[in-house]
């Protein structure tokens, strides 16, 4: 898919951000026990790995409150008439900016029930950031370029990750306890939720998501290719 190249770069960025947050958390909590990881893989029912799936914790161990996220901002870039990244998971309450790095205007909007907004024709970094405080997925589009699409997934906790091309994910710096872990994919028909008890070395888990086949968007995709 066309989104695979930018997503790889984003994953890297996301990992470093998470690492930094974990260090901060460890300092704040004063080394209260060793933090662990949940690793695993997201696959479709046929066992094929699913890239671009969001894996996040929706239920924390009893008595634990969701830690405040390290970053309360995120960015949905527009580069070469594509949204970058294609899938952007954020914690509820995150302000997402929409910088435009193309030489042309974009008209970013979402009519999703999660978040309805519109950034009329804008260029550069002038557009007002948008705060996503309601859980769920918001489909993002551009009124000028129908083929441009992205999704911002608003999750309840800072424990989330995006699967790589091999469908692999890592949820880091998790105190021991039993978590509810959910997998989400933009083409999902049904998603899987799983309880995971985090101890020292947690066995990798596998989340299966039943997805619709990818479908061609008409007529904009073809049009986009012919422009490029």
Binding site for another protein (CB under 8 A): 107, 109-111, 116, 118, 139-143, 146-149, 215-220
**Residue placing its CB nearer to another protein in the complex, 89 or 158:** 89
- As measured in angstroms, the least distance from the Cβ of 23 to another protein is 37
Cα distances from 151 to residues 134, 204, 221, in angstroms, run: 14, 27, 17
Pairing of the two strands 205-208 and 36-43: parallel
Would you say 27 and 117 are in contact if contact means Cβ atoms under 8 Å apart?
Answer: no
**Residue placing its CB nearer to another protein in the complex, 92 or 109:** 109
- As measured in angstroms, the least distance from the Cβ of 224 to another protein is 12
**Residue placing its CB nearer to another protein in the complex, 172 or 217:** 217
**Residue placing its CB nearer to another protein in the complex, 143 or 192:** 143
State the virtual CA torsion across 227, 221, 123, 16 in degrees, nearest 10: -120
Cα distances from 23 to residues 34, 41, 151, 198, in angstroms, run: 12, 25, 29, 19
- As measured in angstroms, the least distance from the Cβ of 153 to another protein is 14
How buried is residue 59: exposed, middle or buried, by Cβ count under 10 Å (0-12/13-18/19+)?
middle
- As measured in angstroms, the least distance from the Cβ of 82 to another protein is 12
**Residue placing its CB nearer to another protein in the complex, 44 or 186:** 186
Coil/strand/helix, residue 27: helix
Left if phi > 0, otherwise alpha if psi is -120 to 50, otherwise beta: which for 182?
Answer: beta
Would you say 44 and 208 are in contact if contact means Cβ atoms under 8 Å apart?
Answer: yes
- Who contacts 193 (Cβ-Cβ below 8 Å, separation ≥6)? 58, 180, 181, 182, 183
- As measured in angstroms, the least distance from the Cβ of 116 to another protein is 6
- As measured in angstroms, the least distance from the Cβ of 49 to another protein is 23
**Residue placing its CB nearer to another protein in the complex, 82 or 94:** 82
């Amino acid at each position: 898919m066309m989104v695979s190249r930018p997503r790889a770069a984003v994953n890297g960025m996301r990992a470093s951000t998470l690492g930094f947050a974990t260090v901060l958390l460890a300092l704040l909590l004063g080394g209260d026990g060793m933090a662990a990881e949940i690793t695993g893989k997201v696959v479709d029912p046929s066992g094929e790995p699913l890239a671009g799936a969001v894996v996040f914790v929706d239920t924390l161990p009893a008595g634990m409150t969701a830690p405040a996220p390290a970053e309360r901002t995120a960015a949905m870039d527009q580069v070469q008439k594509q949204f970058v990244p294609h899938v952007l998971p954020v914690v509820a309450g995150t302000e997402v900016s929409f910088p435009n790095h193309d030489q042309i205007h974009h008209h970013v909007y979402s009519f999703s029930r999660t978040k309805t907004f519109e950034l009329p024709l804008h260029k550069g970094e002038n557009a007002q950031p948008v705060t996503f405080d309601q859980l769920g997925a918001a489909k993002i589009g551009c009124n000028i370029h129908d083929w441009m699409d992205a999704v911002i997934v608003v999750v309840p906790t800072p424990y989330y990750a995006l699967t790589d091309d091999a469908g692999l994910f890592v949820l880091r710096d998790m105190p021991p306890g039993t978590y509810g872990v959910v997998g989400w994919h933009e083409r999902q028909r049904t998603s899987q939720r799983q309880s995971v008890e985090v101890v020292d070395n947690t066995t990798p888990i596998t989340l299966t998501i039943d997805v619709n086949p990818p479908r061609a968007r008409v007529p904009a995709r073809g049009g986009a290719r012919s422009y490029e």
